[in-house]
């Protein structure tokens, strides 16, 4: 993508770009940018990505209209002792757009289920501004607790999870706003007894963070075609709690107090990926530095060029991201296996 830098004031109408209209009551009318994949397609035939994995929808919180879309590979593990990691996925969209059923996110989850292989759980969380943050984080934590209850067989365990999943090998994964959710859900999970579920890896692809002070990359890509500053600012104004600015810890945890920064140091292994053509790249690099300074094991992969959400538009970038995720998941799982074997040898 060519350099979108500009020293002039942004001239983009963010409402038109995002295809949203704000109603008098504060809610949004959204014109879908991506088609939705219905559950009935699971039984259809075809060669697209949605047919790679079996999937089904499970209610999470009917009152909040949240649900889980669960994916599993069509071929069972080779033996009963070989169970699969569980990826808990949060979709992107600046907290105001899209769904777990939106085609790009649905297809990506299907591919991961087959190619890793893994069981993938994708959350349909509440969107802002109808449900401002921390509603999405609350839904993410409720999902983790649901998985814990499944692992404990509380009121029964879903057959797919019971047959395929190794609950000691769970990951949180998300892109853009979903990457932000990974970070904040993981911090909240530190205060919860999730046993026997163990979250052993956090995967944040182009995580969505910003701040009041403009970074150099934000200024350089002020009129970016994918995420121009006016759209970024609008999404945060709709997502953050009423009266909060972009230095709120939900948006800019790097300015958080000492207590939150102490918690950051207790996070598990992280994979953070980004692209040089993303206006948010500087904030993502800043996050990596903060985590590393607190002793977190971080794998940082920042590529040249590209744009925000490039894996949606470029199959080669999507393939590269999948390779990075697979390597990270495999490495984390090997570490768990090694630690478990070492612990047994000392008994």
- CATH number of the domain that 247 lies in? 3.40.50.1820
% of the chain exceeding 90 in pLDDT = 82
pLDDT computed for residue 51 by the predictor:
55
pLDDT computed for residue 206 by the predictor:
98
Q: What pLDDT digit, counting tens, does each position of 238-285 carry?
A: 999 999 999 999 999 998 777 888 899 999 999 999 999 999 999 999
Q: Quick check: 185 pLDDT over 50?
A: yes
229 part of a folded domain? yes
- Is position 297 annotated as part of the catalytic site? no
Which has more pLDDT, 160 or 47? 160
4 part of a folded domain? no
- Print the domain residue range for 315: 52-345
Domain count, the chain: 1
Q: What pLDDT digit, counting tens, does each position of 79-113 carry?
A: 656 799 999 999 999 999 999 999 999 999 999 99
- Is position 345 annotated as part of the catalytic site? no
pLDDT computed for residue 255 by the predictor:
86
CB 223 within 8 A of CB 230: no
Which has more pLDDT, 54 or 347? 54
13 part of a folded domain? no
Q: What pLDDT digit, counting tens, does each position of 123-141 carry?
A: 999 999 999 999 999 999 9
Of the listed 139, 158, 166, 278, which one is catalytic? Answer: 278
17 part of a folded domain? no
3-state secondary structure of 262: helix
Q: Quick check: 41 pLDDT over 90?
A: no
Q: Give me the helices (H) in 19-168, please.
A: 103-115, 135-151, 159-164
pTM exceeds 0.85, yes or no: yes
270 part of a folded domain? yes
Q: Quick check: 7 pLDDT over 50?
A: no
- Is position 166 annotated as part of the catalytic site? no
Of the listed 175, 176, 210, 217, which one is catalytic? Answer: 176
| pLDDT band, very low/low/confident/very high, at 9 (cuts 50, 70, 90) | low
Give whole-number Cα distances, 155 to 88, 136, 146, 151, 284, in Å. 21, 25, 11, 11, 41
């Amino acid at each position: 993508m060519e350099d979108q830098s500009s020293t002039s004031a942004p001239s983009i109408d963010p409402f038109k770009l995002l295809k949203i209209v704000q109603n008098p009551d504060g809610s949004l009318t959204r014109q879908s940018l991506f088609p939705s994949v219905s559950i009935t397609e699971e039984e259809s035939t075809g060669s697209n990505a949605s047919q790679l994995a079996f999937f089904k929808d499970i209610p999470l919180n009917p009152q909040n209209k949240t649900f889980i879309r669960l994916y599993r590979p069509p071929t069972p593990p080779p033996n009963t002792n070989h169970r699969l990691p569980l990826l808990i996925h949060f979709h992107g969209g600046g907290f105001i757009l899209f769904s777990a059923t939106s085609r790009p996110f649905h297809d990506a989850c299907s591919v991961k289920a087959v190619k890793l292989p893994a069981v993938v759980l994708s959350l349909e969380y509440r969107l802002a501004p109808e449900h401002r943050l921390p509603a999405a984080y609350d839904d993410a934590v409720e999902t983790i607790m649901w998985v814990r209850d499944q692992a404990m067989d509380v009121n029964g365990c879903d057959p797919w999870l019971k047959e395929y999943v190794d609950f000691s090998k769970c990951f949180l994964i998300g892109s853009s706003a979903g990457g932000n959710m990974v970070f904040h859900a993981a911090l909240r999970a530190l205060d919860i007894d999730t046993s026997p579920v163990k979250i052993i890896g956090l995967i944040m692809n182009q995580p969505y963070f910003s701040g009041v002070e403009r970074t150099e990359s934000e200024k350089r890509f002020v009129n970016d075609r994918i995420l121009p500053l006016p759209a970024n600012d609008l999404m945060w104004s709709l997502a953050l709690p009423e009266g909060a600015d972009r230095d709120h810890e939900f948006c800019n945890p790097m300015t958080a107090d000492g207590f939150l920064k102490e918690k950051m140091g207790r996070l598990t292994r992280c994979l953070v990926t980004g692209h040089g053509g993303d206006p948010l790249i500087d904030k993502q690099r800043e996050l990596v530095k903060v985590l590393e300074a607190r002793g977190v094991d971080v794998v940082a992969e920042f590529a040249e060029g590209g744009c925000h959400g490039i894996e949606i538009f470029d199959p080669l970038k999507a393939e590269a991201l999948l390779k990075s995720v697979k390597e990270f998941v495999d490495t984390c799982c090997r570490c768990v296996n090694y630690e478990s074997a070492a612990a047994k040898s000392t008994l």
